[in-house]
Structure 1
C-alpha cells in the first residue's frame, strides 16, 4: 500500500475500478465527479476546444491523482475528459475521503507539503506555457514525467506542451544530436 493510500485511508477494494485502454472514466457535463487515484496504468485528463482540438491538462500514472477540482469539491458539472491510455486500475475518491481519514498532525503536514509541491509544479507549468520556449517545456515534461515518453504518443506530448507534433519532433531530434 502506497503512502498516499495510507494517508487517504483507502481500502484495497473500496471504489477500485478497472478500465480498458480507451475507456472513459469521466466526460464533460457529468453531475457527479470523483478524483482518480491511479493504482496501475496510465490516464489523461483533457479538454476539447470549439475547433475540436485536444488540450491535455495532465497525465497520471501509478501513484498520481487527477480530477476535475471544481466538480469534485464544489459540485460543479465536470469540464474534463478523463480516459485511459493503458488498461488501468483506479480508485475513485470522493471529496470526503480526506475528511474521513483519521490523520495525525504529522500526516496532515505531510499531505499539505505534497499538495503545495503539486501546486508549485502546476504554477511552474502555467508560467512555462505562457513564456518559455518549447524546448524548456519539453525538458520540464521529462523532469516531471520521466517514464512517459515511451508510454505516450508524441502527438499527446505535443498537446500537453502546447506545440505541434512537428515542433516536438524537431526538438527531440536536436536533443538526440546534442544540439
Structure 2
C-alpha cells in the first residue's frame, strides 16, 4: 500500500506521531476497482469511506425513472462516500462507480469510531473535511441557482480539470443538470 498521498492529505490539518500513523494505516484496506465496477450501490448499506489513490470515481443518484444525476467526481487525493448513510449506517442514497481502473483506501465506519477514541485528533481532521464538503456543496447549490449553464461548465472545469478530460460528456452533463446535447453546444460556442 502506498500511503504517501493519504498521509499528505491528513497532514494538511493534523500532525500524527509515528505510533498514531501506524495505527491509522493499520485500519485501512486497499482496494482496486475495475472500470464501471461499483463500490457502493444505491439501497445497500454504506460501510466505508474511501480515499482515492488513483483513478476517478463518480457518485450519482438514480431516480425511479432511471435518470442519473451526478453528485460528485472524486480524483486522487479526494475522499468519497455517501456521507449521510455512512455516518448514520443507513442504506445508500447514492451509487459510487469507478470511471476507470482506480485504487482506494477504505476505512470502515467501525474503524473510524475506534480511531476517534484512540486518536482524538482525527475528530478534528474529519470535522474539517466535513465542513469543507458542506461548503463545497452549498457553493454548488448557489451556482446551480445563480449561474448559467455556460458558467456552471466553466466552474466544473476549474474544480475538476483532471476529470474533465477523462469522463464522458453524458456524465459531465448529468453533473451540470443539462442534456449532453446542450453541453455539446456550449463546448462548440466556446471553441468559436
Same fold (TM over 0.5): yes
1:134-157 deviation digits (Å, cap 9, x = unpaired): 011111101110111210011100
* Contact 2:27–2:107 under 8 Å retained in 1: no
Task: Answer yes or no: is 1:145 the counterpart of 2:157.
Answer: no
Task: Give matches, 1:17-32, under 5 Å.
Answer: 17-32=31-46
Match of 1:38 in 2: 52
Task: Give matches, 1:149-160, under 5 Å.
Answer: 149-160=164-175
Match of 1:172 in 2: 187
1:79-108 deviation digits (Å, cap 9, x = unpaired): 111111010111112344351563659x93
Gaps of 5+ in 1: none
**1:89 is paired with a residue of what secondary structure?**
strand
| Distance in 2 of aligned mates of 1:100 and 1:175 | 52
**2:163 is paired with a residue of what secondary structure?**
coil
* Contact 1:33–1:78 under 8 Å retained in 2: no
Gaps of 5+ in 2: none
* Contact 2:33–2:102 under 8 Å retained in 1: yes
Query: Aligned pair in 2 of structure 1 residues 161, 31: CA closer, same or farther (>3 Å)?
Result: same
Q: TM-score, normalised by structure 2?
A: 0.80
* Greater fraction helix: 2
Q: TM-score, normalised by structure 1?
A: 0.86
